Structure 1
């Protein structure tokens, strides 16, 4: 998961550098007034999203599998805890009835 996030940030940083270069060289349009920095960031985000979607497909699938496994493990732990509580409750009730 961390690897995917770092790769995604790397693509964003690369796009940010490219867009900054294009804007300051005059190839890409500048933002309005003082919004130039925001324009560069937004344009880099828009460009990096589809690149990340295509390039990081396998890494995203790996991260998804890890998340599903973690959720399944947590569900199994919760079920085990519930069954332990049920057994303890049943035992306490049975002892209370026999006394």
Structure 2
């Protein structure tokens, strides 16, 4: 998961550098008034999203599988805990009825 995040940030940083270069060289439009910094960030974000979607497909699938395994492990632990609580409750009720 960390690897995917770092790769995604790397792609964004690369797009940010490219967009900044294009804007300051005059190839891409500068934005309105004082919004130039926000324009560069927004344009870099818009460009990096589809690139990340295509380039990081395998890494995203790997991260997704890790998350699914963790969720399944937590669910199994919760179910085991629930069954132990049910057993303890049933035992307590049975002892209460026999007394």
TM-score category, normalised to shorter length: over 0.9
**How many correspondences in the alignment?**
99
Q: Which residue of structure 2 aligns with residue 90 of structure 1?
A: 90
Q: In 2, Cα distance between the equivalents of 1:30 and 1:86?
A: 65
RMSD of the TM alignment (CA)?
0.5
Matched, 1:7 2:7: yes
Q: Which runs of 4+ in 1 moved over 6 A?
A: none
Q: Which residue of structure 1 aligns with residue 66 of structure 2?
A: 66
Unaligned runs of 5+ in 1: none
Q: Which residue of structure 2 aligns with residue 78 of structure 1?
A: 78
Matched, 1:46 2:56: no
Q: Which residue of structure 1 aligns with residue 25 of structure 2?
A: 25
Matched, 1:16 2:13: no
How high is the TM-score relative to the length of structure 2?
0.98
Q: In 2, Cα distance between the equivalents of 1:32 and 1:89?
A: 67
Deviations 1:14-43 (A, max 9, x none): 100000000000111111110000000000
Unaligned runs of 5+ in 2: none
What is the Cα deviation at residue 97 of structure 1?
1.1
Q: In 2, Cα distance between the equivalents of 1:97 and 1:29?
A: 81
